[in-house]
Structure 1
Amino acid sequence: MPAESTIRPTEVVADARPVLDVEAGTLALPVWPETDPESGESGEAGGPGGQNGPGGPAGPAGPRVGTGADEVASALGLDLPLILDRENAKGEPGEIVSVPVYAAGRGAASVDGEVDVTRVLLVGVGDGTAASFRRAGAAVARAAKGVERLGSTVTAGADDARVRAFVEGAVLATYALGGFRGSEAPARTLPLGTLVLAGDEDRSTVVRLASAVAEATWTARDLVHTPSNVKDPAWLAERARQLGSAHGLDVRVRDEKALEAEGFGGILAVGMGSARPPRLIAMRYEPEGAGATTPHVVLVGKGITYDTGGLSLKPREAMVPMKTDMSGGAVVMGVLSAVRELGVDVRVTGLVAAAENMPGASAQRPSDVIRQYDGTTVEVLNTDAEGRLVLADAIGYAVAELEPSVVVDVATLTGAATQGLGRTHAAMYATGDDLAAALTRAGDASGERMWRLPLVDDYRSALESSVADVAHIETTKVGGGSITAALFLQRFVRDVAWAHLDIAGVGRADADRAEVVKGGTAFGVRALLYWLEEGVSVAPGGAGRPR
């Protein structure tokens, strides 16, 4: 079986030349919504700052084609307004009108006349927000599967946020895992080879940043989608070492002997029922010039490489997607793979608590009492609530040994989060308002939205145990299963600023939608990288008052 995927993401490059000179046989032009017959303006006045929209042909009250429209229409003999009218196009975000080009396209795609234009994609950009550009990029990429090179003017004149959104959408929408089929995938199903952003000033820097974020998400998706007969804790640790070598990170892996010697009772308990022992993976990034005052962010990811539920066995249907139960760990590894490329100026340590939750002869039992890393004893009442046990060890270790400024954990933790928020928002808990606001901003900007939920003091009593310091699930029914899980984790954070992202709903998708693909989404990579890029500042007493 392969160690990594054989399918590569789309390469994105910037080229200031006109779109007809970039040697691309497929072109993409932006379409803005219907023109207001009174004002003569389209949608949001042609988009933010007027980019793209005001130029280009339009009917008396129809959608307007943006930058490159006149040149392409003239060179290829296309009546673009008529085409849009016949297709009943509206310029909605992600709407695609595909126009085949025949004899008129011969030699039209390069100065030397050697490259033919065979197709023009007219791409709706809606209200021109970053979210609409992200949908547009995703739509272009899906429409251009199997294409070697595509020239686009969709982002010409757009600001950096919209360019980044378009590029990230285009790269991520055609994610696929390769290497597990008996024959190669047909060329028509592969991602677009190269996307050229044409006819604009030099955008190489923003393209590089966007590509780094998208490729980090791609890396995390590869980890999530890999089947669990290949992916066990040792395999995940080896992938971490490879990423560390490629991206200049220090990597340390604790095996089961080291975990036992150092008292990681939660990780060991969860992994007891498997013949494939657990690991604690640590990946460390130090920016140039880091010193004693440089903030230190610790990211903690749940790395359950397969979850049967243990002796509290899941039904078959619930077990099928459980190769994705290490999504939190994959997110952390994806983030660490990109921080150096993005020039993040804080120290970042990623901890992945990796175990396989199996119902073997030596598996932990409901009613067992275990001792976590920080000495807390925990009554285990449901072995299918294993994620919080491995996270508690990693968080306790981070707080005791790593002197973090802030800890953020990421986990596919509770079905209650999915029931409460569905599949569009992660449940976010935080001990400080500033931290919550910063993560919310990053989520909105990156397209990975979060909704803050409360840490309800009144619910803490539901975790009381008659035999241990605490129970890891409710002993008194109060509802709010995602909240009580967060409350359990909070006790291990002590006074360190902390946020918890429950991605159980958003971490998996049932169908392709915009830049999200069916299966594991690697939700959180983009949001956390945007947050780290913004800069992390935790005021004294940053843990704040629990909500």
Structure 2
Amino acid sequence: MLAIRLIAEPDQLDAVALPMRPGAADDASAAPVPTAVALPAEVADEAAALASMIGLTGRAGEAHRQLRPGSAPARLLLVGIGDGDEPGWRSAGAALARAGKDETHITVALPAGVSAEAVRGLAEGLLLASYRYRLGADAEAPALTGVDLAVAEPEAYQQALEVARTTATMTRLARDLTNTPSSVKNPQWFADQVAAAATDLPGLRLRVREPEELAAEGFGGILAVGGGSASGPRLVELDWQPAEATTHVVLVGKGITFDTGGISIKPVPAMKLMRKDMAGAAAVVAATLGAAALRLPVRITTLAPLAENMVSGAAFRPGDIIRHYGGLTSETTNSDAEGRLVLADALAYAVAELKPDLLIDLATLTGANAIALGTRTGALYSDNDQLADAVLAAVAAAGEAAWRMPLPTDYVEHLGSELADLHSAPTQGAGSVLAALYLREFTGELREKWLHIDMSAPSWCERDDAELTRGATGWGVRGLLRWLATFR
């Protein structure tokens, strides 16, 4: 991962990044921001002239690299910061990571009195946009390995940088887990990755239930979905319990390590990217690890129900009746609506045994999410206005996006079944809404303290875009960490 330092006096000036802000008038060119550290006198004048010459506006994420042969610095990178708020600096960091990918080292000359939020945003943008995942040979890896942030008082920004570094590290972990091909990634592999990561963080407790334990304890949904695979299902339970915690949050993440659709098999184009169907589990696990690394004073229990939804003689069938943890039964007429079945078990277990103050689940649950909200926005459902507002605010502050959706009572009748307590995949009504209403049935006495996010679309990105890189986005890690950090 890219090494970022805070320094007071630059010791390398081969390549210098200079923040640029929009001009005073609508049609004015970008202007360089006065910096906390001294640069050669001509640099600011040259940057202003260059901005006017090539039409730089200073908008957030704009970047230009200028060669200066025989001068110091030898390369000048002009980076727009827009309004200078945290999102603008995050965009600037992402643009700098790409514009400076051929450099080995860059010094960023920050303005005097720059805010801690700006430093955090800049660092997150740098670290997230420089992420790459590749298993084959890579002849085009970026040369950039180090960035120095030059400020007047480095110690004042150390905590902001540490939070940014932890947030980016855990987001990158979620991306790694999600990007890993399913030829490598099965439920046991995922559980092993969690165990390895948790070992490095004191205070975490981990339990992994294997198929025999799941059967003994009545996790019928997880067992049904995982029954068709040679790689048996698992339930990961990861607990962070600091002594000073006064609030207990349970996070649940859908962990389907590959989804064929089962007997209701998907067409090949829809199946190709189904290694990402465990992005919810990756997000909640990574957020919990991040909370432990930052020593956040909130108790977190994370549940990751893991299964591989395959086609075989042992696979569950359309029309089967599944008995979930706690006793509720589901009639399933579509084995490709499998994620809600494993989540139902985990939610019911959380309510009955963990009794948290708040219950949140993240899942790559429906394609309807993308139809309603596009590819960058998660669909958020909750009956709790205060909880919904707090999570939406945290997600927005983190640079992610979610939109609150309704839970209409007139749709509940579609969940009725002649054979079971619930129909898991009704064909009438809005798909994402019905999936949320189905999950709500397993929240029991915590119904008013539950929140669900359908994040199938924003879990993946088809092209580099700001701090996102092509592939898994790690969506949810940043938003959850922001929200968890509000418990003090």
- TM-score (norm: length of structure 1): 0.85
CA distance in structure 1 between the aligned counterparts of 2:219 and 2:37, rounded to whole angstroms: 66
1:512 lines up with 2:464 in the alignment: yes
Please report how far the alpha carbon of residue 146 of structure 1 lies from its aligned counterpart in structure 2 after TM superposition: 4.5
* Cα displacement string for residues 458-513 of structure 1 (whole angstroms, at most 9, x for unaligned residues): 100011111111010115x12x1111100000011112111101101111111110
After superposition, the CA RMSD in angstroms is: 1.8
Please report how far the alpha carbon of residue 84 of structure 1 lies from its aligned counterpart in structure 2 after TM superposition: 1.3
The one-letter code matched in structure 1 to 2:33 is G
2:431 aligned residue:
481
1:366 aligned residue:
318
* Cα displacement string for residues 98-118 of structure 1 (whole angstroms, at most 9, x for unaligned residues): 11122112xxxxxxxxxxx33
The one-letter code matched in structure 2 to 1:125 is I
Q: How does 1:80-159 map to 2 (within 5 A)?
A: 80-105=47-72, 117-154=73-110, 156-159=112-115
| Matched position secondary structure for 2:278 | helix
1:74 lines up with 2:28 in the alignment: no
| Matched position secondary structure for 1:337 | helix
Equivalent of 1:283 in 210, 231, 238: 238
CA distance in structure 1 between the aligned counterparts of 2:378 and 2:77, rounded to whole angstroms: 34
The one-letter code matched in structure 2 to 1:488 is Y
- TM-score (norm: length of structure 2): 0.95
The one-letter code matched in structure 2 to 1:359 is V
1:10 lines up with 2:2 in the alignment: yes
* Cα displacement string for residues 207-244 of structure 1 (whole angstroms, at most 9, x for unaligned residues): 01111111110111010011110000000000010111
CA distance in structure 2 between the aligned counterparts of 1:191 and 1:395, rounded to whole angstroms: 45
Equivalent of 1:172 in 108, 122, 128: 128
Contact 2:36 2:111 in 1 (8 A): no
Equivalent of 1:413 in 336, 342, 365: 365
Contact 2:365 2:454 in 1 (8 A): yes
CA distance in structure 2 between the aligned counterparts of 1:383 and 1:408, rounded to whole angstroms: 24
The change in CA–CA distance for 1:254 and 1:24 in structure 2 (over 3 A counts) is farther
The change in CA–CA distance for 1:32 and 1:76 in structure 2 (over 3 A counts) is closer
The change in CA–CA distance for 1:191 and 1:223 in structure 2 (over 3 A counts) is farther
The change in CA–CA distance for 1:489 and 1:35 in structure 2 (over 3 A counts) is same
| Matched position secondary structure for 1:332 | helix
* Cα displacement string for residues 17-75 of structure 1 (whole angstroms, at most 9, x for unaligned residues): 2xxx2325321111111233xxxxxx7xxxxxxxxxxxxxxxx9432101339943526
Q: Which runs of 5+ in 1 are unaligned?
A: 1-8, 37-42, 44-59, 106-116, 537-547
CA distance in structure 2 between the aligned counterparts of 1:503 and 1:149, rounded to whole angstroms: 36
The change in CA–CA distance for 1:176 and 1:191 in structure 2 (over 3 A counts) is farther
2:187 aligned residue:
233
- Aligned-pair identity in percent equals 40
CA distance in structure 2 between the aligned counterparts of 1:375 and 1:67, rounded to whole angstroms: 65
Q: Which runs of 5+ in 2 are unaligned?
A: none
Contact 1:73 1:79 in 2 (8 A): no
CA distance in structure 1 between the aligned counterparts of 2:337 and 2:261, rounded to whole angstroms: 8
1:320 aligned residue:
272
Range that drifts further, 480-489 or 149-158: 149-158
CA distance in structure 1 between the aligned counterparts of 2:440 and 2:143, rounded to whole angstroms: 42
Please report how far the alpha carbon of residue 285 of structure 1 lies from its aligned counterpart in structure 2 after TM superposition: 0.6
Equivalent of 2:198 in 244, 267, 270: 244
CA distance in structure 1 between the aligned counterparts of 2:64 and 2:112, rounded to whole angstroms: 19
Q: How does 1:269-308 map to 2 (within 5 A)?
A: 269-290=224-245, 294-308=246-260
The change in CA–CA distance for 1:195 and 1:393 in structure 2 (over 3 A counts) is same
The change in CA–CA distance for 1:469 and 1:241 in structure 2 (over 3 A counts) is same
2:208 aligned residue:
253
Total equivalences in the alignment: 483
1:336 lines up with 2:288 in the alignment: yes
Contact 2:36 2:112 in 1 (8 A): no
Equivalent of 2:455 in 495, 503, 507: 503
| Matched position secondary structure for 1:192 | coil
